[in-house]
Amino acid sequence: MDATEKRTAVAASGTGAVQEPFVNLRDPAKRLGPDGKPAVSRRAPIWVDVPDEKWNDWRWQLSNRINSLEEIGRVINLTDDEREGLSAPDKFRVDITPYFASLIDPDDPDDPIRLQVIPKGQELRAFTGMMEDSLAEDRHSPVPGLVHRYPDRVLMLVTTQCATYCRYCTRSRIVGDPSQNFNRAEHEAQLDYIRRTPQIRDVLISGGDGLTLAPKLLESVIRGLREIPHVEIVRIGSRVPVFLPQRVDDELCEMLAKYHPIWMNLHFNHPNEITPEVARAADRLNRAGIPLGNQSVLLAGVNDCVHIQRDLVHRLVENRIRPYYIYQCDLVEGAGHFRTPVGKGIEILEGLRGHTSGYAVPMYIVDAPGGGGKIPVMPNYLISYSDHKVVLRNYEGYITTYEEPTTYTPHDATKCRHCRTPRPEPGQEGVTGLLDGKRMWIEPAGFELTHARGNVEAHRLQDASKWVPYGVGAIEGQAGAPFPAIGEGAGTAEGAGGAGTAEEGGSPAAGAQVTGEPARAYGPGEEPRPPEGMPTGSAHGELL
C-alpha cells in the first residue's frame, strides 16, 4: 500500500464506505463524448475519413492546410465578398488547419471563426489612419526581429510563420512571408543583443508563432535565452494551441518545463474556439507549470459584444487561462472592417468588472499608433476627490466615498533598500515625474508623421510654436506666449477680474500682441502661470 492508497483507505474507513475514485466531470479537459471516449470537436465532411492518428498529428494538420478558393470552397459555402478576397493577387497569406476550418459553420456567413481566417474583398480597402507598421516596430528594432520598446523587456520575433493566418494580423507586413523569415544567424544576433543589454529581464518570443518552429530550433532559442543570466522570465505568445492544439504534446511540454520560469499568452477571440482539444492542450501546459494568459483582439462582428466576451472569459478561466489583455484593433492594412470604436471596449469592461470574477477581467489596451506602447483604457470609477475624500462609483452605479487618512508618513527612501538600489534604466520617471515635481510637463518626443492622412504639415506636437503645455495655468492656443505684466496693454487686472473674455481684451494673447514681446519657449520645470487675477484656460481642446 503506497501513501495515497493509505490515505484513501483511512478516509474511506472514516465514513464506513469504500469510496470510488473521484471522477471530476466539471474538468473541461476530462469531458467525454457521446461514445464514452474523450470528447472531440466536429470535423468537416471532407475529412471524416482521415484516420485519427493522422488527424491528431500536428504535422499532418500543418501539411494539409487549406488556402485556395477551390479548397476552402469544399469546406464552406463561400460568399461573393469572400470569393473576391480569396481571388486577390497580393493579399495577406491564407492558410487554415483542417482542425480549425472544421469549427466553422459552413452555412453561416457571419461565423466568428470564419471571419477571422477567410479573407473578404473588404480587407483590400484603405481607411483613414491606415498604416503598414502601425506600432512602428521596425523603428524600434535594434537588430532584425527584436523590438525593444520598453525598458526591461523585448519582443523577439523568431519566425514569420503561423499555423493559420488571422486577417487582422498586426504584423501582416512580414508575417506569412517565407522570404522574410528569420534564420539561425538572426536568432544569434537577437540573443547577442539581449546578452549585451543587462536591463532585459523578460523576453517575449513571438512572430509569427514560435511554436511553429521545428522543435529542435525552438529549443535552441529558448536554451540560448536561459543561458543569459539576467533573463528572468521567458514568455511565449502563441496561437498554436488555438489553431493546432495537437501540437501541444507531452514532448513539447517536457521540453518547455526544462527552461522554467516560462509563461505563455494564448490568443482566443471567441468561445467557439475553446474545444475539447483546446481544453486538453491547456491542461497539459498548466500541468507543465506554465501559467497561461489570453490576449484577444476586439473585432467587429466577431466579439464586439459583452455577452460573447463574458462567455469567452468564463470558458478561459474554466480552463485555467487568465484573461490578460483585450486589444483595440490596430490601424493596420487589412483590418479596417474589423475596427470598433474605443467606446465598445469600455462598454465590454463595464460589463465584466464587478459582474464576474476579477480573474476573468482582462485589461483593455490601445496599442499606441506610431509606437508609443500599450495604453490601458478603463471606465472611470474615480468620480472626484478633495484633500480628504475620494468619490468613487461601483459597477452598479452606486456612489460612495472613501475617507483619506489624516496622517500619513511618507515612504522613507533613505531607509528603503529598494529605493537605494533602483534599476538602472534612465528616463523611467515618466508621468510620475510630474508627481515627484521633477518636471512640470512632459514634452512628446519622437513623434513622427507616418500615417496615411495625406497631412504634410508637421504634427502640432512636433512644432514648438504650436505646442501648448498641458498643465495648471496653460492657456488654450497660447504656447510660449508670455503673460503681460499686470496693468500692461488691454489685459489689465480689472479686465481680467471680470469675465476675462477675449472680447474684453482680457486674454493674455491680446496683451502679448500689444506689448510686442517675442514668444518665449518654456523649459522643463517652467510654466506659463498666469499672474494673480488673470484668467486661466485649459488646453484640453488642443490635445488633438
Ligand X SMILES: *Cc1c(COP(=O)(O)O)cnc(C)c1O
**Residue 171 within binding range of ligand SF4, rule CB under 6 A:** yes
The site for ligand SF4, by CB under 6 A, has a size of 10
> Out of 78, 130, 155, 348, which residue is the one contacting ligand X (CB under 6 A)?
155
The secondary structure of 339-354, three-state, reads: CCCHHHHHHHHHHHEC
Q: What would the x/- binding string for ligand X be over residues 448 to 487, using CB under 6 A?
A: ----------------------------------------
Q: How long is the chain?
A: 544
Report the alpha-carbon distance of residue 214 to residue 393 in Å, rounded. Answer: 51
**Residue 175 within binding range of ligand SF4, rule CB under 6 A:** yes
Q: What would the x/- binding string for ligand X be over residues 255 to 274, using CB under 6 A?
A: --------------------
Nearer residue to ligand X within complex by CB, 204 or 244: 204
The question of whether 171 is a catalytic residue gets the answer yes
> Out of 174, 204, 266, 313, which residue is the one contacting ligand X (CB under 6 A)?
204
> Out of 91, 114, 149, 320, which residue is the one contacting ligand X (CB under 6 A)?
149
* Residue in 65, 111, 162, 315 annotated catalytic: 162
* Amino acid, res. 297: V
The question of whether 162 is a catalytic residue gets the answer yes
Smallest separation, CB 374 to ligand X (Å)? 5
> Out of 112, 208, 370, 371, which residue is the one contacting ligand SF4 (CB under 6 A)?
208
**Residue 374 within binding range of ligand X, rule CB under 6 A:** yes
Q: Are strands 292-297 and 373-376 parallel, antiparallel or unpaired?
A: unpaired
**Residue 150 within binding range of ligand X, rule CB under 6 A:** yes
The question of whether 108 is a catalytic residue gets the answer no
CB-CB contact of 506 with 535 (8 Å): yes
The question of whether 367 is a catalytic residue gets the answer yes
**Residue 209 within binding range of ligand SF4, rule CB under 6 A:** yes
What is the Cα 456 distance to its own chain's centre?
Answer: 30
Identify what 169 binds: ligand SF4, ligand X, none; CB under 5 to 8 Å per kind.
Answer: ligand SF4
The question of whether 209 is a catalytic residue gets the answer no
**Residue 169 within binding range of ligand SF4, rule CB under 6 A:** yes
Nearer residue to ligand SF4 within complex by CB, 171 or 310: 171
Identify what 153 binds: ligand X, ligand SF4, none; CB under 5 to 8 Å per kind.
Answer: ligand X
Identify what 252 binds: ligand X, ligand SF4, none; CB under 5 to 8 Å per kind.
Answer: none
Report the alpha-carbon distance of residue 226 to residue 256 in Å, rounded. Answer: 11
* Residue in 330, 339, 364, 439 annotated catalytic: 330
* Amino acid, res. 440: M
Identify what 149 binds: ligand X, ligand SF4, none; CB under 5 to 8 Å per kind.
Answer: ligand X
The secondary structure of 95-124, three-state, reads: CECHHHHCCCCCCCCCCHHHHHHCCCHHHH
Helix orientation angle between 215-226 and 250-257, rounded to the nearest 10 degrees: 10
What cell does 502 get?
A: 477675449
What 8-state DSSP symbol labels residue 438?
Answer: S
Report the alpha-carbon distance of residue 46 to residue 99 in Å, rounded. Answer: 12
Long-range contacts of 219-228 (CB under 8 A, 24+ apart): 219/255, 220/184, 220/187, 221/156, 221/158, 221/187, 221/191, 222/256, 222/259, 222/262, 223/259, 224/187, 224/188, 224/191, 225/191, 225/194, 225/259, 226/259, 228/191, 228/194, 228/195
**Residue 147 within binding range of ligand X, rule CB under 6 A:** yes
* Residue in 65, 91, 114, 153 annotated catalytic: 153
Nearer residue to ligand SF4 within complex by CB, 177 or 188: 177
The question of whether 37 is a catalytic residue gets the answer no
Smallest separation, CB 133 to ligand SF4 (Å)? 13
* Residue in 65, 167, 168, 169 annotated catalytic: 169
CB-CB contact of 290 with 316 (8 Å): no
What separation, in Å, do the N-terminal and C-terminal C-alpha atoms of the chain show? 74
> Out of 91, 187, 235, 239, which residue is the one contacting ligand SF4 (CB under 6 A)?
239
**Residue 210 within binding range of ligand SF4, rule CB under 6 A:** no
Q: What is the DSSP string of 369-393?
A: TTTTEEEE-----EEEE-SSEEEEE
**C-alpha triplet 313, 314, 316: angle, nearest 5°:** 60
Q: Is the dihedral of CA 308, 175, 321, 60 positive or negative?
A: positive
Identify what 205 binds: ligand X, ligand SF4, none; CB under 5 to 8 Å per kind.
Answer: none
The CA-based dihedral angle spanning residues 494, 497, 502, 505, taken in that order and rounded to the nearest 10 degrees: 10
Identify what 292 binds: ligand X, ligand SF4, none; CB under 5 to 8 Å per kind.
Answer: none
Identify what 171 binds: ligand SF4, ligand X, none; CB under 5 to 8 Å per kind.
Answer: ligand SF4
Helix orientation angle between 215-226 and 184-195, rounded to the nearest 10 degrees: 20
CB-CB contact of 208 with 160 (8 Å): yes
Smallest separation, CB 181 to ligand SF4 (Å)? 13
Nearer residue to ligand SF4 within complex by CB, 194 or 244: 244
Nearer residue to ligand X within complex by CB, 86 or 365: 365
Q: What would the x/- binding string for ligand X be over residues 164 to 203, using CB under 6 A?
A: ----------------------------------------
Smallest separation, CB 373 to ligand X (Å)? 7
Q: Report the candidate in 246, 95, 299 with the shortest Cα–Cα distance to residue 177.
A: 95
Query: Could you list the residues that contact ligand SF4 (CB under 6 A)?
Result: 162, 165-166, 169, 171, 175, 207-209, 239
Residues near ligand X (CB under 6 A): 147, 149-150, 153, 155, 204, 374
Kindly list the catalytic residues. Answer: 149-150, 153, 162, 166, 169, 171, 330, 367, 374
